[in-house]
Amino acid sequence: MKAIVYSGLGCSWCDRVKVLLQDNEYDIEEIQISKESVQEIKEKYDQDVRSIPQVIIDGEFVGGFAEVESRIKGPGSINKV
């Protein structure tokens, strides 16, 4: 399984999502957020970027930390309580 994480420097949610993905055996490619990467997400996935991290799993746009956690842990994840 492969995940692309669009992240930024000093972003604690970016660090958390990378740990979550690594703990669940995903190979991670990290891309620093930039004007170009924001445009790439818009063009490829028809998504506006308003926050980071933004995560793509196996070619599918998932979203930020909460969406990744929900996808991995299911409806019982802490953010769904």
Q: Are 5 and 31 a contacting pair, CB within 8 Å?
A: yes
Q: What is the CATH number of domain 2-80?
A: 3.40.30.10
Q: What are the φ and ψ backbone dihedral angles of 16, each rounded to 5 degrees?
A: -65, -40
**Average of pLDDT values for 50-61?**
97
Which tokens sit at 21? 């993905």
In the chain, % of residues over pLDDT 90: 89
Q: Are 68 and 20 a contacting pair, CB within 8 Å?
A: yes
Q: pLDDT-derived band of residue 74, with 50, 70 and 90 as boundaries?
A: confident
Q: pLDDT-derived band of residue 47, with 50, 70 and 90 as boundaries?
A: very high
Rg (CA), the chain: 12
Q: With 50 as the cut, is the pLDDT of residue 81 above it?
A: no
Q: What is the pLDDT of residue 79?
A: 55
| DSSP letter (8 states) at residue 8 | -
Residue ranges covered by each domain of the chain = 2-80
Q: What are the φ and ψ backbone dihedral angles of 12, each rounded to 5 degrees?
A: -70, -35
Average of per-residue pLDDT values in the chain: 92
**Average of pLDDT values for 54-58?**
98
